[in-house]
Amino acid sequence: MNNNTKINCWLILFVIIFSWGNLYAQVNGSNETLAKKEEVKLPEKGWKKLNTERYPGKQDDITFINETEGWYVNGYGSIYHTKNGGESWEKQLEKKGTFFRSIAFVDSLVGFAGTVGTDYFPNVTDTIPLYGTKDGGKTWKPVDYKGPYVKGLCAIDIVKEQYINHGKIDYKIHIYAVGRVGSPANMMVSHDGGLTWASNNMNNDCKMLFDIKMFDKNNGFVCAATDEDIEKSNALILKTSDGGRTWKKVYQSNRPFEGTWKASFPTKKVGYVTIQSYNPDPNVKQQRIAKTTDGGETWNEINLVEDAGSREFGIGFIDENHGFVGTMNTGYETKDGGKTWAMVNLGMACNKIRIYKDANGKTYGYAIGVNVLKGEF
């Protein structure tokens, strides 16, 4: 073999090795790119269960100030806090003898937790209806208030009223709390961000209070019941236009063993309220929801499901048509304003469903019952 032939052979061998090396790099690089694409794929839409400490029953309330930071409470006197969207939770408080029923935060520091009170659930000894924190839940203290004694609270709502403060936009914070299940009916109000509170008795308007939704400092609704004896009780919705000083009836069912439970208003015109039935007759199966399309002036009943075991609890709507309801057995979803419903997994006894929209229009939600869930839509 002459020198020219040897050189040509080496050149051919080099080209082959280089080509194979280049092809390997392309294929390997493509696999790595695909793997990276798989790593950053979008999360599944809908509800997913979060990892939380086990609780043997229905937990009642959860609240978030943004998508990542929030709190939830339960009947063990426990308050839990997360800063990573519920991926992990820190127990901030466990107060034996206390049954926490509701929680709400003004911002990352100031928040309030309501208790159900004594003489309703066993082993509950705490007679203080409301606790407050000023350090994000690290410490909690009883809230002082003026007015009649409040036995317990089932819901808290916060209204931020925009105003001009020395040439800049600021907010006045109004806080409303109501309760309770099993009677009596009371309301607590603060118009200074929780610095001072006043209470008033609502037993002339109703006998039980379960939820409150205020659109502004004057206008809003409460979910109520007509009698402390559930055998005689009808479901009841009351409306106020003077910040809770006076109330008018806008809806009352005509069946015994009923009360309302939770409300959701995706707009000021359209709202939904769950109706609970405790009728012991197994033949009474129809579960119903109250709906308004005129800002709560009038209400109509719509059917949810015909199942005596599906007692209703929480409700949350993304918009006028798309929403969710929690029941004793499972959850239900509608996309047509309640005309039709499909089963969705919200766990058992989903008691509170909170839907949020951030500044960029992203919609997400958190829900609590036996389980704690996060929703992405």
Q: Are strands 111-115 and 100-105 parallel, antiparallel or unpaired?
A: antiparallel
List phi, psi (to 5°) of 284: -90, 100
Tokens standing for residue 254: 């005509």
pLDDT for res 138:
98
CATH superfamily entry for domain 47-376: YVTN repeat-like/Quinoprotein amine dehydrogenase (2.130.10.10)
Say which residues have a Cβ less than 8 Å from residue 128's Cβ, sequence separation at least 6: 98, 115, 142, 143
Beta strands in 215-308, from DSSP E residues, in sequence order? 220-225, 235-240, 248-252, 258-264, 271-277, 286-292, 300-306
pLDDT (tens place) for every residue of the chain, 377 residues total:
554 444 444 443 443 333 334 433 333 333 333 233 333 343 468 999 999 999 999 999 999 999 999 999 999 999 999 999 999 999 999 999 999 999 999 999 999 999 999 999 999 999 999 999 999 999 999 999 999 999 999 999 999 999 999 999 999 999 999 999 999 999 999 999 999 999 999 999 999 999 999 999 999 999 999 999 999 999 999 999 999 999 999 999 999 999 999 999 999 999 999 999 999 999 999 999 999 999 999 999 999 999 999 999 999 999 999 999 999 999 999 999 999 999 999 999 999 999 999 989 999 999 999 999 999 99
CA atoms within 13 A on the CB side of 272: 28
In angstroms, the Cα distances linking 6 to 14, 16, 17, 19, 34 are: 12, 16, 17, 20, 42
Q: Is 322 in contact with 264 (CB distance < 8 Å)?
A: no
Per-residue H/E/C for 16-65: HHHHHHHHHHHHHHHHHHHHHHHHCCCCCCEEEECCCCCCCCCCCEEEEC
Separation between Cα atoms, residue 80 and residue 64, nearest integer Å: 12
**In the chain, domain spans:** 1-41, 47-376
DSSP codes, 68-98: S-EEEE-TTSEEEEESSTTSS-EEEEE-TT-
Q: Could you say which DSSP state residue 326 is in?
A: E
Separation between Cα atoms, residue 158 and residue 220, nearest integer Å: 12
pLDDT for res 197:
98
Beta strands in 180-215, from DSSP E residues, in sequence order? 186-190, 198-201, 208-214
pLDDT for res 44:
63
Tokens standing for residue 334: 């509608």
Tokens standing for residue 315: 């409700």
Separation between Cα atoms, residue 57 and residue 65, nearest integer Å: 26
Nearest to residue 115, comparing CAs of 135, 103, 105, 129? 129
Helix (H, G, I), strand (E, B) or coil at 352: strand
pLDDT for res 9:
43
Strand partners, 259: 276
pLDDT for res 359:
87
